[in-house]
Amino acid sequence: MGQGIVVIIASFRRPIELGRWLDHVSRQSVKPLELIWAVTGDADLPSDWATDGAIRPTVVRSPTGLTVQRNHGLAAITSDPALIAFFDDDYVPTSTCFEDVIASFAALPDAVGLTGLMVSDGINSSGIAYDDALALVEAHERQGRVPAGAVTLEPWDGLYGCNMVYRADAIGDERFDENLPLYAWQEDVDFAFRVAKGRSIGRTNGFAGVHQGVKGGRTSGRRFGYSQIVNPVYLYRKGSMKRRKMIVMASKNVIANHVRSFRPESWIDRRGRVVGNWLGILDLIRGKVDPRNALNV
């Protein structure tokens, strides 16, 4: 049986955020067996990543797309870990995050996948500045770590992709669905469903961090709007999303995009998403349920 934790970060055109992971890992109370960066090319890398230091990431280059990059990250593992963690490049962990992840799985022996406590999440706003994220993490740390006996699990039917950790033996040969291209919306739900196989997964209070919600490097509004329609239908047909969730998710996004397109948020291309929604709806009417068509939108 493996021990320790491997950390995989897939990143695209965010060298500053990716580079900060050298600092994140250096201050961890427990170091990972491997830190793997799955990138698409040199433009994704911070300029000083190869300098001598305590932390030396393994860099693996991959075609563009969250699912294919994460799969390349999995293929690059050379150790025998007990746990495999996937973090977004703009996730800021507490200084005991990795230690707390290990303790959380020990406290929840039936769980095969966990998402941690979000101290704050900037995904639905203009984002959280890095200094503010650090301040939020430090404030949370002052509250003290969660005792083993107080670690809880809130069952979910998926995990949150910005911070999700699995038992390595539960992942086995499962891989992310590369038919979900680019930002690969809902790939985390699909992967969690297939890894869980009916076993326990969910959110825990045992480890924590802040998701900045950086907007750079994300999919265009049209493409994302297309995925908002087609991806849930595709996952429903696969069996990894329930029918009610598919309908509610797609409907809420269509309504939100149309209503807010009159006064869109500065950080969201609502009008582009509206166009993408309708292109997705038209493809569904034509019987074309293929998430990869987002590449042509």
- Residue 183, pLDDT score: 87
What string of DSSP letters covers 231-297?
Answer: HHHHHHHHTSS-HHHHHHHHHHHHHHHHHHTSS--TT--HHHHHHHHHHHHHHHHTT---GGGGGG-
Asked whether residue 140 falls in the same domain as residue 264, the answer is: no
- Residue 147, pLDDT score: 92
* Number of structural domains found in the chain: 2
Mean pLDDT, range 129-146, rounded to an integer: 96
Q: Which of 211, 237, 260 is the last residue of a domain?
A: 211
**Integer-rounded Cα radius of gyration of the chain:** 19
Residue 52 has pLDDT above 60, yes or no: no
Q: Which of 179, 211, 243 is the last residue of a domain?
A: 211
Q: For residues 105 and 204, what is the distance between their CA atoms, to the nearest angstrom?
A: 10
Q: What's the mean per-residue pLDDT of the chain?
A: 94
Asked whether residue 145 falls in the same domain as residue 72, the answer is: yes
258: helix, strand or coil: helix
Mean pLDDT, range 138-154, rounded to an integer: 94
Mean pLDDT, range 173-180, rounded to an integer: 97
Task: Note down the domain range covering 36.
Answer: 5-211
- Residue 49, pLDDT score: 76
Q: What tens digit of pLDDT does each residue of 194-240 get?
A: 999 999 999 999 999 999 999 876 678 999 999 999 999 999 999 99
Mean pLDDT, range 183-198, rounded to an integer: 94
Asked whether residue 11 falls in the same domain as residue 133, the answer is: yes
Question: At 19, is the pLDDT very low, low, confident or very high (cuts 50, 70, 90)?
Answer: very high
Asked whether residue 171 falls in the same domain as residue 273, the answer is: no
- Residue 47, pLDDT score: 86
- Cα four-point dihedral sign 47, 51, 53, 56: positive
Q: What dihedral do alpha carbons 59, 130, 183, 69 form, nearest 10°?
A: 10
- Residue 132, pLDDT score: 97
Range in 35-39, 125-129, 228-232 with the lowest mean pLDDT: 125-129
Asked whether residue 191 falls in the same domain as residue 241, the answer is: no
- Residue 1, pLDDT score: 65
Asked whether residue 182 falls in the same domain as residue 259, the answer is: no
Mean pLDDT, range 2-28, rounded to an integer: 95
Mean pLDDT, range 25-38, rounded to an integer: 96
- Residue 21, pLDDT score: 96
Asked whether residue 53 falls in the same domain as residue 183, the answer is: yes
Mean pLDDT, range 114-133, rounded to an integer: 94
For residue 157, what are the contacts with CB-CB under 8 A and spacing of at least 6? 189, 192, 193, 242, 245
Mean pLDDT, range 238-259, rounded to an integer: 95
Q: Taking the chain, what is the end-to-end CA distance rounded to the nearest angstrom?
A: 46
Q: What tens digit of pLDDT does each residue of 53-112 get?
A: 667 899 999 999 999 999 999 999 999 999 999 999 999 999 999 999 999 999 999 999
